[in-house]
Amino acid sequence: MKWFKGKKKAEKAPEEEPCQPVGQDIQPDVAQEAEQILESVETEEQDVATEEEKQGFFRRLRNRLSKTRKSFVNRVDQLLLGKKEIDEELLENLEEILITSDIGVQTTMDLIQKVRERIGRKDLNNTEELKEALQEEILAFLKVQTGPDSVSLETPYVIMVVGVNGVGKTTTIGKLAARYMKEGKRVLLVAADTFRAAAVEQLEIWAQRVGSEVVRHKGKSDPSAVVYDGIHAARSRGVDVVIIDTAGRLHTKVNLMEELKKIRRTVARQLPDAPHEILLVLDATTGQNAISQAQLFHEAIEITGIALTKLDGTAKGGIVVGICHSLELPLKYIGLGEKVDDLQEFDADAFMKALF
């Protein structure tokens, strides 16, 4: 008899299956779905960032238009408050508000005529509908057709910037240069304002600030000679965008306007289709005088677009409507402050939303 039982033989451990690399067993369709989800999340994040940027711009635009809103929209609201019927007295008072808001006499008359036509068609039955109609007609005036952006199609793309003294022309050029540099464009500034003592230095400061190149001459040389050298340099260096600064001049001075024509011819001799843009800078605080300036500049050198500065510091924002309607020229940019990013592309829908 055995007192001790022998030890049982150790049971053989089950063989482990070899480890497979992570993800090896994921089916192709599952992996594809995961990639699509990740792409969707990234797209949503980009959309959120873009929306936040738009909201930030809208708030800033609305804040900067506060003076115009107070002098124009608030007065319209007060006029319509408590009134239900649209009568002749109401239309006359509305007409007065539009004119005194620097929209301009002719633009005001055209707006009122549009409103009267709607009333005649029985489209407007109360003051609430009247305000909506006014907004729609103003928006239609603001949406002047603009040509395609040819910056990516023409190299170099030449922008000639003109305007009277004190409108913020050189500052606008610096901010434009910053915008194009941010887009990855190579930018060259041409200092053709050889009349004002500090103009060249001011342009050089902007060039250093935004990282662009600059072509200048010493002393009070011929502006056309500076432009000639600038275009030549741009072509040899492979520059994307050329922005020409010109001397601020009174639009009533014939000889100074002739100088602008000479500069334009100088550019065209080297680049047959250039300048591709002739941008007129106007000061919003000057009101109706800005329209007079634009008309004379346009007659002389055929303006292609307008940049309206100092819109944040005036109650005369109605001039925007007058400019777009009277001149039938596209408003390309609006200046909302001193910072580099305060020069914004004009968006008629965003402008109306911020104003009303």
- Give the pLDDT band of residue 23 (cuts 50, 70, 90): very low
- The answer to whether the beta carbons of residues 246 and 161 sit under 8 Å apart is yes
Least confident of 3-7, 212-216, 290-294: 3-7
233: Cβ–Cβ under 8 A, 6 or more apart, which residues? 188, 213, 215, 239
270: Cβ–Cβ under 8 A, 6 or more apart, which residues? 228, 231, 232, 235
In this prediction, residue 262 carries a pLDDT of 95
123: Cβ–Cβ under 8 A, 6 or more apart, which residues? 129, 133
In this prediction, residue 19 carries a pLDDT of 45
Inform me whether the pLDDT recorded for 147 exceeds 90: no
For tokens 């677009």, name the residue.
305
pLDDT, mean of residues 184-199? 91
Least confident of 53-67, 145-159, 206-220, 227-241: 145-159
Inform me whether the pLDDT recorded for 20 exceeds 80: no
Least confident of 92-106, 142-156, 249-263: 142-156
